[in-house]
Amino acid sequence: MSLSPGRRLADPCVRRGVRKRYQKVHNRIPKIPVRNDSLPFLLKIIAEIGENNYNLEELETLGKNGSKKVKTVLHFQMPGRLIMGGGTLKELPRIIQQLGKNNPLIVTDTGIVEAGICERIKAVLENENIEVGCFDKVEPDPRIEIVYDCLEVAKAKSYDVLIGLGGGSSLDITKVVSILLTNSGDISGYFGIDKIPEAGMDTILIPTTAGTGSEATPIAVLSDKKEHLKKGIVSDKLYPKVALIDPELTTSLPANITAYTGIDALTHSIEAYTNKYSQPFVDTFALESIRLIGANLRKAVSNGKDIEARYNMSLASLYGGMCLGPVNTAGVHALAYPLGGTFDVPHGIANSLLLPYVMEFNLPANPEKYAKIASALGEDIRGLSLNEAAQRSVDAVVQLSRNVVIISRMRDLNILADAIDDMAIAAMKVTRLLNNNPREITLEDAKQIYKNAY
């Protein structure tokens, strides 16, 4: 299944009544080609997008009576091409040739090499007379230094396309190395939003987990060990030329990694759906992702060879990733960053652990949406009050986490209780994500959430 050019659609999000002073925003939103025979669930609309960080207070329309009505402008972008389905790995040589390339570098980790996946890809390419190099030093929640190690390898030979292979860490390193190959300056100048001047080297991203959705996001996250924080780069220059999703590559994933990457995908979708700047268009993907995870994660964990469950989890992860460009994540991710930055807790585990506690905190902000989350996760909420139905969403996440054996307490990760205050202070620096949370999180709130999770 391939997402490729087709007919053009006019931007549906800015209509009559937009104030002339904001017309320049509309003029910057181009039209992109789409076709309506791609993913069955993609409806028939793909609009342009980067990062939803315009001044939202300014994007207002006038109601018929002259009253102000907030109308957030939707920006939505996908990888240049999306290919998904069992066995689609065999299309990789043709994809490289269509890009006009012939000297790829695989960016991956030792686990992928040991699992034989890297050799499998090398064989597919070499059978078509495409020589390939490999950088296999990516680590979980990679340090900034890994970027420069990979960059040195990429520059040593005349590689002309990067293939990110693995989980989110490998895909993120691939993205960042690609832009450093074509842009000058230190990586520190690119942390933040829309700070990359030029497009990077072409990338092909091939996930082997169903969790981060990084193949469909304009985001890369790295660990800054000096500041004990995760730092993000957000730019449409990070979208790959091609995202190739072959669920068969996930069948050898161990049960524990399947579990916490699956809950990571669930976190993306829940945080996008309940986001302060949520979008009806994005909500559709988020809810379907939540439903797919609720129905398939247990199956994928208990039987890794269940290809239907693996396909559905890959699809759920993709949908979750598609939510991150327009609205991004919120409180869970902000509070998870210090766990990874200070204690080297893998990103998926940190998110999985904190998710129910942040959900509990956020329930009063939008019980209607949390009730719908409960329903999407399979809870029967008929006859319940709104608040009772909303609470069922937390209960469902807790039960799902128990079923797939997710660590539920920070103390089980050997984190000392006296670290909570410093973690809370560090989390409050992640304003890019805290600003998206449906309920304001203060320093004291952050401390209490950590205490609840301890």
- Is the domain of 115 the same as that of 177? yes
Given 37, 62, 77, which residue is the final one in a domain? Answer: 77
Given 201, 233, 250, which residue is the final one in a domain? Answer: 250
- Is the domain of 246 the same as that of 280? no
How does pLDDT run across 365-383, given as a tens digit for each residue? 999 999 999 999 999 999 9
Q: Which of 20-29, 94-103, 137-146, 217-226 has the lowest mean pLDDT?
A: 20-29
Torsional class of 185: left (φ above 0), alpha (ψ -120 to 50), beta (otherwise): left
**pLDDT for the residue 54:** 28
Provide the residue range defining the domain that includes 91: 82-250
How does pLDDT run across 2-35, given as a tens digit for each residue? 443 332 233 333 333 333 333 333 333 333 333 3
- Is the domain of 137 the same as that of 265? no
**pLDDT for the residue 389:** 98
- Is the domain of 336 the same as that of 260? yes
Residue 44 has pLDDT above 80, yes or no: no
Is residue 104 within 8 A of residue 160, CB to CB? The reply is yes
Q: Please state, rounded to an integer, the average pLDDT across all residues of the chain.
A: 86
- Is the domain of 40 the same as that of 119? no
Band (347; pLDDT cuts 50, 70, 90)? confident
Label residue 25 exposed, middle or buried (CB < 10 Å: 0-12, 13-18, 19+).
middle
Q: Which residues contact 67 (CB under 8 A, 6 or more apart)?
A: none
Is residue 294 within 8 A of residue 377, CB to CB? The reply is yes
Band (209; pLDDT cuts 50, 70, 90)? very high
What CATH code is carried by the domain that includes residue 212? 3.40.50.1970
Residue 252 has pLDDT above 70, yes or no: yes
- Is the domain of 53 the same as that of 10? yes
223 compared with 452, residue with greater pLDDT: 452
- Is the domain of 245 the same as that of 258? no
d(CA 3, CA 42): 10
Domain count, the chain: 3
Given 15, 43, 77, which residue is the final one in a domain? Answer: 77
**pLDDT for the residue 167:** 95
Q: What is the mean pLDDT of residues 241-267?
A: 96
- Is the domain of 217 the same as that of 292? no
- Is the domain of 240 the same as that of 127? yes
How does pLDDT run across 280-326, given as a tens digit for each residue? 999 999 999 999 999 999 999 999 999 999 999 999 999 999 999 88
Which tokens is 12 given?
A: 């549906």
Residue 61 has pLDDT above 50, yes or no: no
How does pLDDT run across 155-169, given as a tens digit for each residue? 999 899 999 999 999
pTM, two decimal places = 0.84
Residue 413 has pLDDT above 60, yes or no: yes
**pLDDT for the residue 3:** 40
347 compared with 71, residue with greater pLDDT: 347
**pLDDT for the residue 72:** 65
Q: What is the mean pLDDT of residues 118-132?
A: 95
Q: Which residues contact 232 (CB under 8 A, 6 or more apart)?
A: 191, 192, 219, 220, 221, 222, 432
What CATH code is carried by the domain that includes residue 374? 1.20.1090.10
177 compared with 51, residue with greater pLDDT: 177
- Is the domain of 166 the same as that of 246? yes
- Is the domain of 447 the same as that of 328? yes
d(CA 361, CA 340): 22
**pLDDT for the residue 171:** 98
- Is the domain of 360 the same as that of 435? yes
Q: What is the mean pLDDT of residues 331-341?
A: 93
Residue 38 has pLDDT above 60, yes or no: no
